[in-house]
Structure 1
Amino acid sequence: MVDLQPDQLRALDAIATTGTFDAAARHLGVTPSAVSQRMRALEAAVGQVLVRRGRPAELTPPGQVLVRHARHLALQQADVLAELGIADRGAAAGSGPPDGGPAAPPLPEITLVVSGDALTTWALPALAEASAWARLEVLREDEDHSIGLLRDGTAVAAVTSVAEAVPGCRSTLLGTMRYRPVASPAFVERWFPDGPTHEALAVAPVLAFDRKDDLQDRYLRARAAGGPALDPPRHHVPASNEFRRAIELGMGWGMLPDLQSTASRHAGRLVGFDDAHAVDVAQHWQQWRLHSASLDRVAGAVAAAARTALS
């Protein structure tokens, strides 16, 4: 029977989190030699290479499986200690209350991945509420790519546009965000005097969030309707508020969620120039299948916020 030792799993988790054996040692408060010994012992126990040594160190597929297991255990242990009111004796020195009183039970650590648009528009208040009972690390990733962070164990839950559950996860529909093509009034007057024709869309500058952002191309594919592909000049602005502001300043047109663009449209800073081709993007909550009261509470807070904000 393979016996997975907690200190070995913590070493693997620390390597995955920090990227190097030396940083993992500092994170754990042990020597680099101790981390190396634990990893050799864990790899010998499972009979597989778990980490490709380098800078940064990279987990192999079996290493990713064990990291997910290690984080499952850490989250469940934190839940149990919090329920019992027991302080984490492994916590870093000096982390107790400033008056020298008894240490508080540990808050479970939960890593989530959320798109920049969801953070900007509706998800952040739910996460602020959840911060009362969990220590959150929120990673920003494009909705279509966030499941990769679930699959490799980096995150335990995600707000994503992908409906199909990652193996080991469950998926719940939260609602829909509607995106529509918008631009400044002056941009529309200059580039779309006759509307968003195929010829105009082929040359009018477009804004994308980053190179993973496919929303603008999804719209352009629909507008091409089997004709020649549309590939206009484009700029990239990888921050949600700045992306909206760049559109207002006339750098290009772009797809914005109604939750983010409504105020600017009402104020006349933006106009929707092709509302008939708005794009609806479903929002799903995916989380690991494990018993964790704190993760379930976070899921409940996110679902409640989605019911209020999304269609």
Structure 2
Amino acid sequence: MLDMRQLAALSAVVEEGSFDRAASRLHVTQSAVSQRIKQLEERLGQTLVVRTVPIHATEAGQQVLKHFRQISLLEQELMAGLSQQDERGFTKVAIGINADSLETWFPDALSALVQRERLLMDLKVDDQDATQQLLKDGEVIGCVTSSPKAMPGCICVPLGVIPYRCLASRDYLKHYFPDGVTAEAFRCAPVAEFSHKDQLQNRYLQQFFGIGPHEYPRHRIPSSTAFCDLIVRGLACGMVPEQQGAALMASGVLEEMTPGRYLAVPLYWHVWNLGSTLVRQLTDELVSEAARQLEPFEAHPRLTHPG
């Protein structure tokens, strides 16, 4: 049986990035934190943290953290059942989520549950193709991702599909595409992307125009709201989810650059298979709201339109 104080010290050091901040969080001395981690490393015969700035977990450390967070969740549920939650009555839940879901349907899915069960959300935002790594590393108990493949010890639940269309303002189209939307014009027109992990623009341009990922200029905008705003201002075009783009197209603020050509992104909920009441509640709420706001899989048998 591993020592919970040592596990808590490891978690605090990795989350805070330093021994000093971890000590403040745990209300102990820095040497006590260092000693607990050293004892845990000796107990397991593995180096668990890389002592850089900021400190981060080794691969073995990530596995230990995953174990700690799983048993912490089960312990929180037990305490809640015995009316012994934390001193303020809250339960902390870490979830990996993509920015577009966070901006649109996700808050509606969990707002009632968060209030009813007194949850504190720790949302870790990444691209939908990358959030599963957060689950693998033990940083979250569940994630929304585009991958349908469940990891060992986890379950995968289909949520729905989000169509993405390449949108632009009229001013942008007049300036960069005076002779129509062509591959040649795209090579000189700035495109917005969320991060270096965002592959939607690359996939769209490769699929429909044969343009490689390094053949066009781009803005990198790590905010879903600012991403759309940049496009509305005529500074770029970009792949916008249906829920954000529909009203902008209907009002004439933005136009679809290639009507009928779009990409559909499938979303799945991956979560630890713990038999936990909270896990079941999270899953039920997400599936229910996704059914209301996302498009069904059968509406998009092909994820590229036209395929």
Q: Provide the TM-score with structure 2 as the length reference.
A: 0.90
What secondary structure does 1:149 align onto? helix
1:310 corresponds to which letter in structure 2?
Answer: L
The answer on whether the counterparts of 1:115 and 1:141 sit within 8 Å (CA) in structure 2 is yes
Distance 1:32 1:277, change over 3 A: same
Q: Distance in 2 between matches of 1:168 and 1:195?
A: 51
The answer on whether the counterparts of 1:172 and 1:284 sit within 8 Å (CA) in structure 2 is yes
1:126 corresponds to which letter in structure 2?
Answer: A
Distance 1:194 1:276, change over 3 A: farther
Q: Does 1:46 align with 2:29?
A: no
Match of 1:102 in 2: none
Q: 2:192 aligns with which of 194, 197, 207?
A: 207
Match of 1:112 in 2: 95
Q: 2:217 aligns with which of 218, 226, 233?
A: 233
Deviation at 1:228, TM superposition (A): 7.2
Deviation at 1:136, TM superposition (A): 0.9
Q: Does 1:222 align with 2:220?
A: no
RMSD (Å) for aligned C-alpha atoms: 1.8
Match of 2:70 in 1: 72
What secondary structure does 1:143 align onto? coil
2:98 corresponds to which letter in structure 1?
Answer: S
What secondary structure does 2:95 align onto? strand
Q: Distance in 2 between matches of 1:107 and 1:290?
A: 20
Match of 2:238 in 1: 254
The answer on whether the counterparts of 1:180 and 1:277 sit within 8 Å (CA) in structure 2 is yes
Alignment of structure 1 residues 85-100 onto 2, 5 Å = 85-88=83-86, 91=87, 95=88
Deviation at 1:176, TM superposition (A): 0.3
What secondary structure does 1:298 align onto? helix
What secondary structure does 2:52 align onto? coil
Deviation at 1:197, TM superposition (A): 1.6
Q: Judge which range, 179-188 or 289-298, deviates more.
A: 289-298
The answer on whether the counterparts of 2:17 and 2:56 sit within 8 Å (CA) in structure 1 is yes
Q: Distance in 2 between matches of 1:86 and 1:203?
A: 61
Task: Give the paired residue count.
Answer: 293
Q: Distance in 2 between matches of 1:270 and 1:37?
A: 58
Cα deviation 1:105-139 (Å, max 9, x = unaligned): x3321101111111111111223223221211112
Cα deviation 1:272-300 (Å, max 9, x = unaligned): 12133200000111112223212321222
Q: Distance in 2 between matches of 1:292 and 1:55?
A: 36
The answer on whether the counterparts of 1:151 and 1:167 sit within 8 Å (CA) in structure 2 is no
Q: Does 1:29 align with 2:14?
A: no
Q: Distance in 2 between matches of 1:14 and 1:253?
A: 41
Q: Judge which range, 151-160 or 295-304, deviates more.
A: 295-304
Q: Distance in 2 between matches of 1:192 and 1:175?
A: 34
Q: 1:284 aligns with which of 258, 265, 268?
A: 268
Structure 1 unpaired stretches of 5+: 96-105
Cα deviation 1:25-44 (Å, max 9, x = unaligned): 11111111221221122111
What secondary structure does 2:94 align onto? strand
The answer on whether the counterparts of 1:221 and 1:230 sit within 8 Å (CA) in structure 2 is no
Match of 1:126 in 2: 109
Match of 2:146 in 1: 161
Q: Distance in 1 between matches of 2:232 and 2:249?
A: 10
Q: Does 1:5 align with 2:17?
A: no
Match of 1:186 in 2: 171
The answer on whether the counterparts of 1:16 and 1:67 sit within 8 Å (CA) in structure 2 is no
2:11 corresponds to which letter in structure 1?
Answer: D
Q: Distance in 2 between matches of 1:86 and 1:159?
A: 30
1:167 corresponds to which letter in structure 2?
Answer: P
Match of 1:100 in 2: none
The answer on whether the counterparts of 2:160 and 2:268 sit within 8 Å (CA) in structure 1 is yes
Match of 1:98 in 2: none
Q: Provide the TM-score with structure 1 as the length reference.
A: 0.89
What secondary structure does 1:264 align onto? helix
1:211 corresponds to which letter in structure 2?
Answer: H
Deviation at 1:68, TM superposition (A): 0.7
1:289 corresponds to which letter in structure 2?
Answer: N
What secondary structure does 1:211 align onto? coil
Cα deviation 1:148-200 (Å, max 9, x = unaligned): 21111111111111222233322111000000111012222333344322222
What secondary structure does 1:255 align onto? strand
The answer on whether the counterparts of 2:191 and 2:238 sit within 8 Å (CA) in structure 1 is yes
Q: Distance in 2 between matches of 1:275 and 1:74?
A: 49
Q: Distance in 2 between matches of 1:51 and 1:168?
A: 24
Match of 2:227 in 1: 243
Identity %: 35
